Amino acid sequence: MTDATEPLPPPVGGGQSVIEKLTSLAKRRGFVFPSSEIYGGLNAVWDYGPLGVRLRRNVRESWWRRVVELRPDVEGIECAILMNPRVWVASGHVDAFTDPLVDCLGSCHMRWRQDQLEGDRCPHCGGPLSVVRRFNLMFKTFVGPVEDDSTRVYLRPETAQGMFVNFKNVLQSARQRLPFGIAQIGRSFRNEISPGNFIFRSREFEQMEMEWFCAPGEDEPWFEYWCHDQMEWFSQLGIRPENLRLRPHAPAELAHYALGASDIEYRFPFGWGELEGIARRGDYDLRRHQEVSGKDLAVPDPATGQPLLPFVVEPAVGVDRTALTVLLDAYAEEEVRGERRVVLRLAPSVAPYQVAVLPLSKHTDLVGPARAVEADLRRVLATDYDETQSIGRRYRRQDEIGTPLCVTVDFDSLSDRAATIRERDSMAQVRVGLDRLVEVCRERLGLEP
């Protein structure tokens, strides 16, 4: 059970960025595929393969457990993607959810976000640029067979509004009182002008958002609380603290609804970028929906009993962007016995598989016992089973997809009723009795008994 391996494929060219290497790995190993690739794909739309689905599920479940399940004061909700279009009029999206668009008037005719350009020339061909136009990012569609203004609806650009329009429903049905939160995980759609950097910015994505409702004047301390809480959550996912920072928004960059905001940013290969936005929204959303709908959304003040519109603090983070961050932060290349090892040092809580079971060979005497070991571990852990190619190649394959532990069943296992646990990061190996395998694996993964 040596860690010496058959040679890996040649390393990717030295000029290739980490994002490009990760994009290649993600496709090869089944994390992320270009959507509808056999037809040429669709720009900035992605499909998730077997490992990507597992990783995303682990990210979602970690956030949901921390924000909803472990708290008595946050309720979950799932809202429809299609909503009455007046919702988006009230929220300001119809008038204000726009980006400044410019077209290249030179040879390439590419389109750009004007606020992301340096200078007044096309960054691709150097040609002149058109005058700025405001471009609304919402996707439009129609309800029913007639396509006219009366049947136009929008694919939601955020999940937040579903929580605001259901504020009273949740408050009454869940018998909550201020302060309390409503959380949701769901798909959102934005017709981005300049998507890119793999899954960092795409047109269809998944959000994890929570609206925290509190009395006016209490929102600032709660804002600080949720900034701290979410920074801790990213560290819990295994992201290195030195690659994270909390950046307050300058007054000029605040959204029209925001009294204040901060971004949790990650040091991406292309620079610091937003990972999560946390905003003090005041009473803007409930007030606007109250005005446009004509429905009273005020609630009794817990202290005085007088009616008030709650203020809101909103932590909002993307599943896709978090998954990308987890992968980037875990990605490493190193030399082991003169050979290149690519490894994803994923935390056990987010790794697609926690343990891989590997018979030393495909010999019939080993496959049955190895399958039995995997079935036993599968009851409590996320497991993989792999019997193809040499043991060294299989170790490297599991390293590359981030599996923390490998359990090897060999011919000695038939007599001593033990197997070898090999750790991904240290590559250290230890012999453990089969009757203690689950217990020791859980211990080495840092899981509770």
The verdict on 227 and 197 lying in the same domain is yes
Let me know: does 113 contact 101? Beta carbons within 8 Å.
yes
The verdict on 266 and 131 lying in the same domain is no
The verdict on 130 and 152 lying in the same domain is no
Whose tokens are 């859980």? That residue is 442
Residue 145 CA to residue 299 CA, distance in Å, equals 40
Residue 47 CA to residue 212 CA, distance in Å, equals 32
Q: How many domains does the chain have?
A: 3
Residue 170 CA to residue 165 CA, distance in Å, equals 10
Residue in 17, 166, 140 with CA at minimum distance from that of residue 85 = 140
pLDDT tens, 367-382? 999 999 999 999 999 9
pLDDT tens, 134-181? 878 899 999 999 888 889 999 999 999 999 999 999 999 999 999 999
Q: What is the CB neighbour count within 10 angstroms for residue 87?
A: 21
Q: What is the chain's mean pLDDT, rounded? A: 92
The verdict on 213 and 322 lying in the same domain is yes
Q: Is residue 22 part of a domain?
A: no
Q: What is the CB neighbour count within 10 angstroms for residue 157?
A: 20
Q: Is residue 23 part of a domain?
A: no
The verdict on 384 and 295 lying in the same domain is no
The verdict on 149 and 234 lying in the same domain is yes
Backbone torsion region of residue 153, taken as left when φ is above 0, otherwise alpha when ψ lies between -120 and 50, otherwise beta: beta
DSSP 81-147: SB--THHHHHHTHHHH-EEEEEEB-SSS--EEEGGG-SSSB-TTT--BBPPPEEEE---EEESSS--
The domain boundary residue, chosen from 327, 343, 369: 327
Q: Is residue 125 part of a domain?
A: yes
Question: What residues make up the domain containing 380?
Answer: 353-444
Q: Is residue 44 part of a domain?
A: yes
CATH number at 261 reads: 3.30.930.10
The verdict on 313 and 409 lying in the same domain is no
CATH number at 432 reads: 3.40.50.800
Q: Is residue 19 part of a domain?
A: no
pLDDT tens, 254-306? 988 899 999 999 999 989 999 999 999 999 999 999 999 999 999 998 888 89
With H, G, I as helix, E, B as strand and everything else as coil, classify residue 159: coil
The verdict on 232 and 320 lying in the same domain is yes
The domain boundary residue, chosen from 286, 311, 327: 327
The verdict on 65 and 105 lying in the same domain is no
Q: Quick check: 14 pLDDT over 60?
A: no
Q: Is residue 382 part of a domain?
A: yes
Q: Quick check: 16 pLDDT over 70?
A: no
Upper half-sphere CA count for residue 200 (Cβ side, 13 Å): 22
Q: Is residue 24 part of a domain?
A: no
CA distances from 166 to 138, 171, 184, 207, 313 (A): 21, 8, 12, 18, 16
Q: What number is the average pLDDT over the span 415-421? A: 96
pLDDT tens, 60-80? 999 999 999 999 999 999 999
The verdict on 279 and 146 lying in the same domain is yes
Q: Is residue 279 part of a domain?
A: yes
Q: What is the CB neighbour count within 10 angstroms for residue 14?
A: 5
The verdict on 307 and 384 lying in the same domain is no
pLDDT tens, 44-59? 999 999 999 999 999 9
The verdict on 243 and 315 lying in the same domain is yes
The domain boundary residue, chosen from 106, 136, 166: 136
Q: Which residue has the higher pLDDT, 406 or 135?
A: 406
pLDDT tens, 168-193? 999 999 999 999 999 999 999 999 87
How does residue 119 score in pLDDT terms, banded at 50, 70 and 90? Answer: confident
